[in-house]
Chains A and B, each alone.
Chain A
Amino acid sequence: MERIPILRMGDFLLVTIQVDMHDRLAMTLQDDLTTRISKTGATGVLIDISALEIVDSFIGRMISNISAMSRVLDAQTVIVGMQPAVAITLVELGLTLPGVKTALDVEKGMQMLRVIGGGSVVPPESDGDDDRQEY
């Protein structure tokens, strides 16, 4: 059966959607992700939709569902890479994805997850002593 792969990176799960999804594939992804969050105890989910050429009401609902389900399972979801034409269309369609976190690209999305996740995976600060800001 066709599936969208879910990669694990530390505390985070990473999904890159690279195919034109039919509805059942989207539902399968929703189920698979929920199962994986629960199994791995992941604190963050990053979904890269930069290859998606449309987001219709079905995919929009899937994104909202994944976001809500992950929150209930103590994980945060960030959607990254939405194409501008897709964003314009989505809003005109009537979908504004309330409660769904978005970032422009994978890097910003990962950063957002680290900040939300709090503490443990924040990148190390500089040593501090000599370049401390003075005022």
Chain B
Amino acid sequence: MATMIVRSTETLPIRAEADVVMVRQKARAVATEAGLGLVDVTKLVTATSELARNALIYGGGGTALIESLQDGIRKGVRLTFEDQGPGIPDIEKAMTDGYTSGSGMGLGLSGAKRLSNDFSIHSVVGQGTRVMIARWK
């Protein structure tokens, strides 16, 4: 981990549906620039779309931090979604396929995890949620 370098970083707001599109497009640009293949880019951007929408709908808006990483010879992209929403009381339940507290299909969190190489989630009820994903070349 000591060798990991953050090559670039950018924070984007998620306040409206158009912001979700912006975050997707920026994630695609950064992932492509990092040299990820088309399937990897598509997986990362799809996971990004799920998590950005979650931050907007369930978190009441938030931010997306997009980082281009270099770990030794590996290049990758990491995204961190943060909101100050109600938080998730039962993360295990929220991570279950098909479980939804809203009107979605309940695939957002579990799907985003499957589509990413690294995944972590931290949520405090009443304070908000932070989800981190990364995909490596």
Which residues of A come within 8 Å of B, CB atoms?
20-24, 53-58, 60-61, 83, 85-86, 88-90, 92-95
Nearest CB on B from A89, distance (A): 5
Q: Name the residue of chain B whose CB is nearest to the CB of A55.
A: B46
Q: How far is the CA of A53 from the CA of B25 in the complex (A)?
A: 10
Q: Name the residue of chain B whose CB is nearest to the CB of A85.
A: B42
A24 and B17 within 8 A (CB)? yes
What are 6 sample pairs from A and B whose C-beta atoms fall under 8 A apart?
A53-B45, A57-B50, A58-B49, A58-B104, A61-B105, A92-B115
Size of B's binding interface in residues, CB under 8 A? 26
* Other-chain residue from B24, B104, B110, B115 in contact with A89 (beta carbon distance below 8 A): B115
Query: A58: which B residues are within 8 A, CB to CB?
Result: 49, 53, 104
**Extra contacts besides A56-B50, A86-B42 (15): CB < 8 Å:** A20-B24, A53-B28, A54-B45, A54-B49, A56-B49, A57-B104, A57-B107, A60-B105, A61-B104, A61-B105, A85-B41, A89-B42, A89-B115, A92-B114, A95-B105
Query: B104: which A residues are within 8 A, CB to CB?
Result: 57-58, 61
Query: B25: which A residues are within 8 A, CB to CB?
Result: 20
B107 and A93 within 8 A (CB)? yes
The B interface, classified by DSSP as helix, strand, loop or mixed, is helix
Q: Name the residue of chain A whose CB is nearest to the CB of B112.
A: A93
Q: How far is the CA of A21 from the CA of B21 in the complex (A)?
A: 7
Query: B42: which A residues are within 8 A, CB to CB?
Result: 53-54, 83, 85-86, 88-89
Query: B115: which A residues are within 8 A, CB to CB?
Result: 89, 92-93
Which residues of B from 22 to 67 have beta carbons under 8 Å from A? 24-25, 28, 38-39, 41-43, 45-46, 49-50, 53
B108 and A57 within 8 A (CB)? yes
Q: Name the residue of chain B whose CB is nearest to the CB of A22.
A: B17
Identify the interface centre among B38, B49, B50, B108: most chain A CB within 10 Å of its CB: B49
A92 and B105 within 8 A (CB)? no
Q: How far is the CA of A117 from the CA of B97 in the complex (A)?
A: 36
Q: Is B111 an interface residue (CB 8 A)?
A: yes
Q: A94 and B18 in contact (CB under 8 A), knowing A57-B104, A57-B108, A88-B42?
A: no
* Other-chain residue from B17, B20, B21, B105 in contact with A57 (beta carbon distance below 8 A): B105
Identify the interface centre among A60, A94, A95: most chain B CB within 10 Å of its CB: A94
B39 and A89 within 8 A (CB)? yes
* Other-chain residue from B21, B38, B107, B108 in contact with A20 (beta carbon distance below 8 A): B21
